[in-house]
Amino acid sequence: MAKIKSQNPSTGKELQSYDLHTSEEVSSIIDNANKTYRNYKRTTYAERAIKMNRVADLLEERKLSYAETMTLEMGKTINSAIAEVEKCAWVCRFYAEHAEQFLADELVDSDASKSMISFRPLGIILAVMPWNYPFWQVFRFAAPALMAGNVGLLKHASNVPQSALNIEEVFRDAGFPKYAFSSLLIKSDAVEAVLNNPKVMAATLTGSGPAGSAVASQSGSQIKKTVLELGGSDPYLVLEDADIDHAASQCRQSRLLNAGQSCIGAKRFIVLDEVYDQFLRKFTEEMQSAMMGDPMTDVDLGPMARYDLRDEVHQQVVDSVSKGAKLVIGGYIPDSDGAYYPPTILVDVQEGMPAYNEEIFGPVASVIRVKDEDEAIRVANDTEFGLGACVFTQDVERGERIAKYELEAGCCFVNQYVKSDPRLPFGGIKTSGYGRELSYYGIREFVNVKTVYIK
C-alpha cells in the first residue's frame, strides 16, 4: 500500500510513515463529514465557542509536544514552534469570542416589512495547506470556518502528516463531532477528485502559484468558491531617514524567520543610495550573527524543510550570481548532514535575475540600491507578487502615505516587519492570491450571504 512519510530534515532520517487513504476511504470521510454538517450547522455560536475555547486550552497544554512534532518534521526551531502553537490558541479564542458578532444578522431598510442579510454556513470546506507553518496555516482557516458552522477537510503537505493528525486529534479531543474536522492523507494528485465531489462546497489553499492555479481552475470548473494565499517577493524599503539599526534588525528577523521559508518574509531590500552602505554594513552584521544549528536548541534558524527545497534555493543563488549578482555572505551548501543553508546576502541584483524576479523561499536577501523614493516604489511594485511590503522611515506620515497609497500589496507595514494577526485581514493581490483570511473579513469568506425578505 502507498505510504506518506515524515522525515527529519536535520538528519534525513525517516520518522514515521502512514498508509495513504484510498479513494473509497476519502469518499467515506466526505460522506460522514456531510452528515455531521447537517447537525453541526444547527448548533449555536455559544455551543461552538465552548468547544473552540477547549481547543485553545488543549493547544496550550500540549504546546511542547506539538511543537516538537513540527520541529522534527520540517525543521522549525523549537522556540518558534512553541510560539506557533500559542498563536493558534489565540486565533481559536479570538473567533470563539467574536464569531457571533461578525456574523450577526444585518437589518436593511427596504419595501419589505422586514428585510435582512443573514450569514449562513456553506458545508464542507477543503483546505489545502503547506508545510512551512504546519499548525498556524491550518488554524487560521479552521477556527473561523468551524465557528461559522462549516466543517473542514484538511489536505496537508505530504511531509507533515504527523502535524495533520495532531490537528485532527485536538479538535476531536475538544468535543467537536468526529467528522467536523478531518485530515485526508492523500497526495496532491488526489485533490481533484475531492474537489469534484458535490458534497465539498468550497476550497482554500495556501501554497505556490502553480498549486493555487490548479485548485482555482478545478474549483472554477465546479463553480466552487476559493480563497488563495500564494507566494510573495516582499519588498522592504529603507528610506534615507530610516533608523538604520532598527531597520537592519527588523529586516534580519523577517528574512530569517522560519529559515526564510515564509510567504510574507522579507525578500527584496530596496535601499536609498544615501544610506545604502550604512544599511548593508549593519544588515550584514545582523545576518552574520544569526546562529544556525539543531532546531531543538536555542538557535535562530534550523535546516530548510527538505533537501530538494534547499537545493532549489541554492540554484537560484547560483543563477543570480552567474548573471552578475555578487555574494556578500553565504551562498553555499554546508558540508554536513541536514538540509541546512546559511544566511545569504546578494547585492548588485537586477531585473532578469532569480533574486529579483522570483520568490526565493530560503534565507537569502536581495539588497537593491535605488536613487530616490520614486525609484524605490517603482522597484517595490515591479513584481508579479503582492502579498506584503514594508517601509522604514522616521517620518510616520510619509510612511503611512507610501504604505496606504503607493505599495501594491495586501499587507503594508511601516517600521515593523510584516506578520499576521487574527484581528487584521490577511491576503494578497496579483499572483499572491485573492480573498482574505482572519479578522471580520476572513470568517465571511465561506458563508452564504443570504437575503431574507419578509412582506
| Catalytic residue from among 229, 286, 406, 437 | 229
Q: Has 88 been annotated as catalytic?
A: no
Residue in the structure block whose three cell numbers are 525517516: 14
Residue in the structure block whose three cell numbers are 465571511: 444
Residue in the structure block whose three cell numbers are 479570538: 94
Q: Has 263 been annotated as catalytic?
A: yes
Residue 17 forms beta bridges with which residues? 5
Residue in the structure block whose three cell numbers are 493581490: 429
| Catalytic residue from among 251, 263, 411, 412 | 263
- Write the CB contacts of 38 (distance below 8 Å, at least 6 apart in sequence): none
- Give 54's Cβ-side CA count (13 Å radius): 14
Known catalytic residues are 229, 263
